[in-house]
Structure 1
Amino acid sequence: MNSFTVTVNGQPREVQGARPHTTLLNWLRDGGLTGCKEGCAEGECGACAVLVSRPDGRGGTRLESVNACLVMLPAMNGQEVITAEGIGSPGHLHPVQHEMAVRGGSQCGYCTPGFVVSMAAEYYRPERTSRPERKDGEHHAPNGFDIHALSGNLCRCTGYRPIQDAAHALGTPPEDDTLGTLRTRPAPAPQPLHLSGPDGDFHRPADLPEALELLAEHPGATLLAGGTDWGVEVNIRHARAGVTIAVDGLAELRELEWHDGHVRIGAGLNLTEIERRLDGRIPLMAEWFPQFASRLIRNSATLGGNIGTASPIGDSPPTLLALDASLILASREGEREVALADFFRGYRQTELRDGELIRAVKIPLPLAPITGFYKYAKRRFDDISSVAVGIALELESDNVRRIRIGLGGVAATPIRALKAEEALAGKPWTKRNVREAARVMGQEGTPLSDHRASADYRAAMLEQALLKFFFEKSEVVRG
């Protein structure tokens, strides 16, 4: 079958002869929907943002913004997309478009459609509309708008203040709001698909057993989940896969279950879903989520994908190493469990065997009561780490009963700070002991100098992270 259907702005569109590496962005533009633009082709600017319909977990629909430049078109089979053109029209402006216009949020207009899409996703976010008067720190306005919803959108000429003013002026969607009514019906599920062509095959299996059969038949296949890494490879490096297997819609990879001794998080859940479903119950992850890229990226990126790419600067491994996590790996032959600390074998190399994929992440319970995540990058948000540190501490009286420290950006793989952990184990949690352990931690790994940071800077940040953790958490310890 080399044809399929995608619903765009309420209208089904048949796709004929699509190639596995055609992006949603290029297909939309070829179809005349040019409000969706290419700015960077790697998910950093938001000019290509579109809304997609996703299940809300209660039989309804969430409208979430994603980067169309990173979405492979065949992965949208049977699903629903809303572009800037579908949000409003010149004669009937959407409230988001109206506020952007009257408050001077648009000048050249290149980035405006992407801002409108991301702002519309936040406008319809159920948690905002159910608590419109909430004010939470510096990032939420009295109308509940989380300005971080726009963190993946770049403005090139107007300035952010009028855009922020537009966001903070938005009210609650009226009952007859056209897009708002979409939230009351079930979101369309991804449909199975097989495309075959001269530049590769694309498979969307119906379930996990079928996916594992395909992976056994094609052990070198590219697994596609959120596409936030693979999309960059396709766009920037012109990578092509002989066989692509889309696993993002598999129900078996989308479970999040609490058990007596652990919590199990499906590898196919995107980070936004995980954050929402955990609802702060794993504080270290709650601290990490807002620092991972942008909302646009988190709406697509999966935990399994971030781990599976085996990047030494991925943000999730330091966090999960501190939580002493393990991975459930699945193949046609069955499942096995591997400690995350043993999963990374070398630069971009893992313990995955031919025919295996990451099914879930397993975090042991109870959790360490004192945790912290520290990320050092050139920008505070929406940037790649130079160094990332996750720390989980358990004290007994004033002594260190257990400490786990995960590091990223200081070796060919994410690592545990084993020497620093050993320097603290069983000792009093004092400034003197922590300072000594920080000096030890500064010598962990094999940091390199590159365009992001020097080796000396990385080593210094390791020391500072542990010291910062000590001084920030001293009130928690005393309490």
Structure 2
Amino acid sequence: MPEPHITVNGRPRPLTGTPAHTNALDFLRGCGLTGAKEGCAEGECGACAVLVARPDGPRSRWTPVNACLVPALALDGQEVLTAEGLGRPDDLHPVQSELAVRGGSQCGYCTPGFACSMAAEYYRPDREDGPGGFDLHAIAGNLCRCTGYRPIRDAALALGSPEPGDPLAQRQAAPAPGPVPTRVAGFTRPADLADALALLAEHPDATVVAGSTDWGVEVNLRGRRVAHLVAIDRLPELRGITAGGPVEIGAALTLNEVAAALGDTVPLLAELWPQFASPLIRNGATIGGNLATASPIGDLVPALLALDASLVLASAAGEREVALAEFFTGYRESVLRPGELIRCVRVPTPLASHTTFRKVAKRRVDDISSVAVAIALEVVDGTVARARVGLGGVAATPVRARATEAALAGRPWSAETVEAAAVVLAGEGTPIDDQRASAAYRAAMLGNALRAWWAEGWGER
């Protein structure tokens, strides 16, 4: 097996001797590439953003990720571009040039991360040229503490299209590097699912990682260390997606990959994605990882509960299917057995005709929910034939609001039914007081989520 390495700005950088807990940011800075910075160490500020060549069909695509979260060894065989690789002081990249001439940098701490996120959008294959062609949401995961966003926005909107012969644009025409099996002390990337399951059967105490958006925080802020990490994010058996009949989503697909593949096929999920963290996090976080952490405040779970989703769990002994509503057993606990993985998520069809996702948080984007509510109704001839309501942030686990479902099912879809069900919904779960919200506020927001949906006219469609 070849020695592990990362190709950084076109140059191979050996990973030999790199500890399993070392993140890509620390590795790159150890190589002298100090443009990327540590700001928050939890994927919230984007100061550490770098670009990775990811698959985009037969092509590749420069994809920004938080280098502070991903283990360096997880990038074995991959191709990484940092701010230093975009341009030189005497030959600035267009993104760097626009940031400079429009005053888009003051202290400069966040600027390399902004440059990488902006470059990813600059090279987006379907981006329209001219003013407005730059999607400002592409830099929603990058925070600036001193410059202010207007000059950064001006720089982004001033960008044209890549010039003919731009080497970074041309690089996207070629395939991305394939997954490389890795076996070093404390870290393994199995070759396939069978290899992964055999390894976990032999070492059931190993820690499984995919996008590392949760594990990376544990390592950085809580000093977590384990004997062995097993990376499953590139396993081909966990990266498929089908939308004919039941929707089946591979557990190792990132949230942005799922969003791109499904489009508007599942409207409830399409409504959720823009409210989930930031583009940088969605480029790393996987759908299986988000579920396996069993967090009571994850935004994805309420939506999947409302969709009646189930999980296919795989181990060396075989597979079993578990309803998502029965997956969680306690705070950060689930029915996953030692040596078992989530292989895929299944969403039954036909989908409900009326759906909504409501997130209450202190910030409009890139924030943890105080309360999340997902509702899926089937309305036939003005009567609610079926109701599913998923909740997050109001109990030790994500929950189905079964009393509310019963208050809706079989009743006319009317203002009177909505008000009666909203009162029931406000009493669901066991909300607590914490730094994000009080229990009373959470209860009020539950009921108001249903009232607001009706008031906006969704119930009349």
Using structure 2 for the length normalisation, give the TM-score: 0.98
Tell me the residue number matched to 1:158.
147
Give CA-to-partner distance per residue, 1:220-268, whole Å, 9 cap, x none.
21111000000000000000111110000000000001232x0100000
Shift of 1:2: 9.5
* Structure 1 letter corresponding to 2:17: G
Secondary structure of the equivalent of 2:4? strand
Tell me the residue number matched to 2:75.
76
Residues in 1 aligned to 2:432 and 2:214: alpha-carbon distance in whole angstroms: 23
Tell me the residue number matched to 1:272.
256
1:190 alignment partner, one of 179, 203, 212: 179
Residues in 2 aligned to 1:15 and 1:244: alpha-carbon distance in whole angstroms: 16
Tell me the residue number matched to 1:138.
none
Output aligned runs, 1:284-433, within 5 Å: 284-433=268-417
Shift of 1:5: 1.2
Residues in 2 aligned to 1:393 and 1:132: alpha-carbon distance in whole angstroms: 41
* Structure 1 letter corresponding to 2:268: L
Residues in 1 aligned to 2:175 and 2:295: alpha-carbon distance in whole angstroms: 36
**Does the aligned pair in 1 maintain the 2:243–2:262 contact within 8 Å?**
no
Tell me the residue number matched to 1:137.
none
Give CA-to-partner distance per residue, 1:280-303, whole Å, 9 cap, x none.
211110110011100000000000
Tell me the residue number matched to 2:238.
253
Tell me the residue number matched to 1:51.
51
Residues in 1 aligned to 2:213 and 2:26: alpha-carbon distance in whole angstroms: 16
Shift of 1:13: 1.5
Tell me the residue number matched to 1:94.
93
Number of paired residues? Answer: 461
Identity percentage of aligned residues = 62
Residues in 1 aligned to 2:455 and 2:344: alpha-carbon distance in whole angstroms: 34
Tell me the residue number matched to 2:84.
85
Tell me the residue number matched to 1:177.
166
Spell out structure 1 runs of 4+ moving beyond 6 A. Answer: none
**Does the aligned pair in 2 maintain the 1:2–1:16 contact within 8 Å?**
no
Structure 1 gaps of 5+ residues are 134-141
2:215 alignment partner, one of 193, 216, 230: 230
Residues in 1 aligned to 2:125 and 2:326: alpha-carbon distance in whole angstroms: 40
Secondary structure of the equivalent of 1:16? coil
Tell me the residue number matched to 1:107.
106
**Does the aligned pair in 2 maintain the 1:2–1:194 contact within 8 Å?**
no
Secondary structure of the equivalent of 2:419? helix
Shift of 1:190: 2.5
Q: Please tell me whether residue 211 in structure 1 is matched to residue 210 in structure 2.
A: no
Structure 2 gaps of 5+ residues are none
Residues in 2 aligned to 1:127 and 1:313: alpha-carbon distance in whole angstroms: 34
Residues in 2 aligned to 1:56 and 1:446: alpha-carbon distance in whole angstroms: 43
Give CA-to-partner distance per residue, 1:93-116, whole Å, 9 cap, x none.
111111111111011111100000
* Structure 2 letter corresponding to 1:39: G
Give CA-to-partner distance per residue, 1:327-375, whole Å, 9 cap, x none.
0100111111100001011111101112111000000111111111000
Residues in 1 aligned to 2:432 and 2:302: alpha-carbon distance in whole angstroms: 18
Residues in 1 aligned to 2:450 and 2:111: alpha-carbon distance in whole angstroms: 42
**Does the aligned pair in 2 maintain the 1:346–1:413 contact within 8 Å?**
yes
Secondary structure of the equivalent of 1:468? helix
Shift of 1:15: 2.0
Secondary structure of the equivalent of 1:70? coil
Shift of 1:143: 3.6
2:447 alignment partner, one of 463, 469, 473: 463
Shift of 1:186: 0.8
Output aligned runs, 1:59-70, within 5 Å: 59-70=58-69
Q: Please tell me whether residue 167 in structure 1 is matched to residue 156 in structure 2.
A: yes
**Does the aligned pair in 2 maintain the 1:204–1:246 contact within 8 Å?**
yes
* Structure 1 letter corresponding to 2:215: W
Tell me the residue number matched to 1:146.
135
**Does the aligned pair in 1 maintain the 2:312–2:322 contact within 8 Å?**
yes
